[in-house]
């Protein structure tokens, strides 16, 4: 059974320990089959049994763990869909309750959550049961303004929340840094003449007054986060920061109010208000920079979302009307002018133009469109104007499906991340133990050690150990990698697929429709003695133009390609499995197989020696005769795609074994494989046996990719370690395989492998530096180097280092964009030189 999936946004997660806690809590919930938590996106992908668990109960479970949970979207027949509405006119909490109540009374709505700050309502409903017009009606009847669907606008639904969090962080960081600088000046009054005359005890109380908001207001999120974790009987990054800053603050406050508690001489008591304030400010600054930088890693989604038009022009009762996108219905006829973005998927009904589809397929050349051509939402019309009938709207368009696919991929978890999650689950408790041991050693065992020094080392160990870099190491790189792939027309289904691709050592290609175009073309024209090439093609095409057979179309196209137009024919007759006949200028022309010639009593032995090699090489032969006299022979074969040879060579240059699989006989397979440069072939393989052949290769210890058309090759794609589905434009099987190539370009197979390898390299770099940083930083903070070189780590420097570690991990993931641009530049130069 395929379980329905849901995607939830979880707020309040700050490190890998949070990820582990949320994931474990969800997995322990009855009815949950699978859960993957992504710290970088703040999302949780859940596979669940709808008969056992409701999504509202799952959100409640997450909220009980101390986090915020919001349903974003889902798929599956029994799975509710989610949409986000803009609502105007709300002014207070009573408005929120009123709108929520009205929406929840609509039949089919499972849950409605209204946010006053963002003027949005997130509505979860049964697909097909709730029309948008009904939601609009209840909102407007309640006295509020319906302003449209957020998902179909130009803004990412998560951007408002992120922008608001960034704004709040910015304010608190500025206040925190400002207070910290003043507190540092007050802690060193001898450097500032205008502070020297202030009595020491007075200064201490001033510093206490300034540090209190610097720690508790500026760092509020750390303390609330630590309390939530404590209620769940666990710990996370917030715990470490809260314990560190609170320890320094409480020690300094006690030393200020009761200095005699630590020393008989008040002047000898050191306070660390500057450390407490600066720890909070620096860690918060790191969080702010990290959030800003993480926003860049989801750039691919924002660009795809930006392709969605907000309005469309449709024909209604003969008039041109501009409407909001959510009002467009399947079957509506839409108008498109030059340079406009196409509003939804459809089929051209009149007019012609060329359309730039590069944002969906990565293909730079515009695609010609005429009556009957498919067009896709988000693509840009070029010069002409046309009208088209909408065939897919809203969430059903190719663009919406691609956005969903990329969002799911960016929210997924690579297997390598699970190792980091396991470490993070025990990391914080271990750090707290190490910090406690550090304090005990420095306070009780080090000769002439001060309580204050033991406390500083305790705080430094806590602060430098925050595991947020571990939690961000993999998901940020996965987000960037899958985003880059989407930009190139390579849709990678998730972190697991991304990780597997670079391990491949064997690539198996299906022949028909993958290496070849899947349609025949004329390869040889062999006239009989005394017959010209033009005479043979004119006779054949004049009859075949009346046939719908693929071989007939190929012959007609070949003739027209040489400037030969078919003549008028009459008395046309098609004989199934044999051929066709017709009369041209009184003469009877017969076009067909050897068997047809034998039945008609036509002697073709004069052609036999000329066509023997063509037939032996696996080509299809068509014989042509006029009034029982052979005119000649036309050979046809399935044509190779333009990129097949180069695509195969790129893989061979990467030292990969390339295999061709086909149901054709050996001779035909040998002919195609020789042209494309593949020397390992599997011929005469039945469709149902393709998956068995893939498993046989895997049994030999190979890591196998299967490249097919995504429809007929589905079992083999599923059996392979990595299934790669080829697509024609955007009409692709998005649910088939681990990777979907948005255009018929076999060079994209090697590009997908390169992208995987480069992404995995960045992930491993991130994980190495995250673990190396903590392995090195914790001993230094504990004072291991002090006996040798007198080196100790001030908590303020520990806080700065911890903040920079998270930012550096995200920046390294973003560096993948630069690495990929360089790779593409080198690849394009290489193609230019070889072309």
Q: Strand ranges (DSSP E) for 627-782? A: 629-640, 657-661, 680-682, 704-708, 722-726, 739-741
d(CA 595, CA 579): 9
DSSP for 34-83, please give it: EEEEETTTTEEEEEE-TTT--HHHHHHHHHHTT-EEEEEEEESTTSPEEE
Q: Which two tokens stand for residue 5?
A: 């999936």
Task: Indicate the pairing of strand 43-48 with strand 5-11.
Answer: antiparallel
Q: Which two tokens stand for residue 412?
A: 């997924």
Catalytic residues: 510
Residue 511 per-residue DSSP state: I
DSSP for 552-607, please give it: HHHHHHHHHHTT-PPPP-EEEEEETTTEEEEEETTEEEEEE-HHHHHHHT---HHH
Distances (CA, A) of 780 to 240, 783, 788: 17, 5, 12
Q: Which two tokens stand for residue 823?
A: 């790779």
DSSP for 151-193, please give it: GGSSS-TTHHHHHHHHHHHHHHHHHHHHHHHHHHHHH-GGG-G
Q: How far is CA 378 from the centre of its chain?
A: 18
Nearest to 516 by CA among 407, 648, 373: 648
d(CA 699, CA 703): 10
Q: Which two tokens stand for residue 197?
A: 């005359």
528 touches 631 (CB < 8 A)? yes
Q: Taking the alpha carbons of 801, 803, 806, 807 in that order, is the dihedral positive or negative?
A: negative
Nearest to 149 by CA among 57, 95, 84: 84
Any idea which residue has 């940020």 for tokens?
476
* SS3 label, residue 498: helix
Any idea which residue has 């995250």 for tokens?
770
Q: Which two tokens stand for residue 185?
A: 């000046």
> Helices in 258-372 by DSSP H: which ranges?
273-297, 299-306, 358-361
């Amino acid at each position: 059974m395929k379980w329905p999936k849901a995607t939830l946004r979880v707020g309040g997660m700050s490190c890998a320990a949070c990820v582990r806690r949320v994931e474990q809590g969800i997995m322990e919930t009855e009815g949950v089959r699978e859960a993957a938590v992504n710290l970088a996106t703040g999302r949780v992908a859940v596979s669940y049994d709808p008969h056992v668990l409701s999504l509202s109960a799952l959100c409640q479970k997450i909220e009980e763990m101390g986090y915020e949970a919001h349903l974003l979207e889902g798929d599956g027949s029994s799975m509710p869909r989610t949409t986000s509405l803009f609502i105007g006119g709300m002014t207070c909490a009573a408005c929120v309750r009123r709108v929520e109540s009205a929406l929840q009374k609509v039949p089919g709505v499972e849950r409605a959550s209204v946010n006053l700050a963002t003027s949005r309502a997130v509505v979860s409903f049964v697909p097909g049961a709730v029309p948008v017009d009904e939601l609009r009606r209840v909102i407007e009847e309640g006295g509020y303004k319906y302003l449209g669907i957020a998902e179909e606008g130009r803004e990412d639904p998560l951007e408002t929340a992120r922008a608001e969090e960034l704004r709040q962080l910015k304010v608190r960081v500025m206040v925190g840094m400002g207070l910290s600088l003043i507190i540092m000046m007050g802690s060193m009054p001898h450097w500032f003449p205008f502070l020297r005359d202030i009595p020491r005890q007075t200064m201490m109380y001033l510093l206490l007054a300034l540090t209190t908001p610097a720690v508790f207001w500026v760092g509020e999120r750390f303390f609330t986060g630590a309390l939530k974790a404590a209620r769940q009987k666990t710990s996370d990054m917030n715990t470490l920061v809260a314990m560190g800053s609170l320890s320094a603050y409480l020690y300094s406050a006690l030393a200020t109010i009761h200095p005699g508690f630590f020393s008989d001489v008040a002047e000898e008591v050191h306070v660390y208000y500057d450390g407490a304030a600066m720890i909070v400010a620096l860690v918060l600054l790191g969080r702010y920079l990290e959030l800003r930088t993480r926003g860049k890693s989801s750039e691919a989604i924002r660009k795809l979302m930006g392709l969605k038009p907000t309005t469309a022009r449709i024909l209604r009762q003969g008039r041109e009307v501009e409407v909001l996108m959510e009002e467009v219905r399947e079957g509506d006829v839409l108008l498109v002018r030059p340079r406009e973005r196409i509003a939804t998927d459809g089929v051209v009904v009149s007019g012609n133009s060329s359309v730039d589809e590069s944002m969906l397929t990565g293909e730079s050349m515009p695609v010609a469109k005429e009556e009957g051509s498919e067009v896709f939402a988000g693509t840009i019309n070029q010069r002409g104007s046309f009208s088209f009938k909408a065939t897919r709207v809203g969430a059903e368009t190719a663009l919406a499906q691609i956005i969903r696919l990329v969002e799911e991929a960016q929210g997924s978890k690579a297997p390598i991340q699970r190792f980091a999650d396991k470490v993070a689950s025990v990391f914080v408790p271990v750090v707290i133990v190490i910090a406690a041991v550090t304090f005990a050693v420095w306070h009780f065992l080090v000769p002439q050690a001060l309580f204050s020094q033991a406390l500083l080392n305790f705080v430094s160990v806590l602060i430098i150990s925050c595991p947020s870099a571990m939690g961000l190491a993999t998901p940020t790189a996965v987000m960037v990698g899958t985003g880059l792939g989407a930009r190139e027309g390579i849709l990678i289904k998730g972190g697991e697929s991304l990780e597997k691709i670079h391990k491949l050592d064997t690539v198996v290609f299906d022949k028909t429709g993958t290496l070849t175009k899947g349609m025949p073309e004329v390869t040889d024209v062999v006239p009989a003695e005394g017959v010209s090439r033009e005479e043979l093609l004119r006779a054949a095409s004049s009859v075949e133009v009346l046939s719908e057979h693929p071989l007939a179309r190929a012959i007609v196209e070949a003739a027209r390609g040489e400037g030969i137009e078919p003549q008028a024919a009459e008395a046309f007759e098609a004989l199934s499995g044999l051929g066709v006949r017709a009369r041209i200028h009184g003469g009877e022309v017969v076009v067909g197989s050897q068997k047809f010639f034998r039945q008609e009593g036509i002697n073709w032995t004069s052609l036999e020696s000329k066509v023997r090699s063509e037939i032996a090489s696996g080509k299809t032969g068509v014989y042509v005769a006029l009034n029982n006299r052979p005119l000649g022979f036309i050979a046809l074969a399935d044509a190779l795609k333009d990129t097949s040879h180069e695509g195969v060579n790129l893989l061979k240059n990467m030292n990969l074994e390339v295999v061709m699989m086909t149901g054709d006989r050996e001779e035909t397979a040998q002919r195609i494989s020789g042209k494309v440069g593949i020397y390992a072939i599997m011929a005469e393989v039945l469709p149902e046996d393709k998956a068995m052949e893939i498993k046989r290769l895997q049994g030999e210890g190979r890591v196998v990719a299967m490249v097919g058309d995504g429809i007929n090759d589905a079992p083999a794609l599923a059996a392979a370690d990595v299934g790669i589905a080829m697509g024609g434009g955007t009409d692709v099987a998005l649910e088939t395989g681990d990777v979907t190539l948005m255009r018929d370009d076999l060079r994209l197979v090697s590009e997908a492998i390169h992208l995987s390898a480069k992404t995995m390299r960045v992930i491993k770099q991130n994980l190495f530096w995250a673990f190396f940083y903590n392995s090195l930083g914790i001993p230094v903070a504990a004072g291991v180097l002090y006996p040798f070189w007198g080196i100790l780590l001030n908590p303020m420097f520990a806080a700065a280092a911890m903040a920079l570690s998270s930012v550096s991990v995200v920046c390294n993931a973003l560096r993948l964009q630069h690495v990929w641009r360089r790779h593409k530049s080198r690849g394009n130069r290489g193609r230019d030189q070889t072309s």
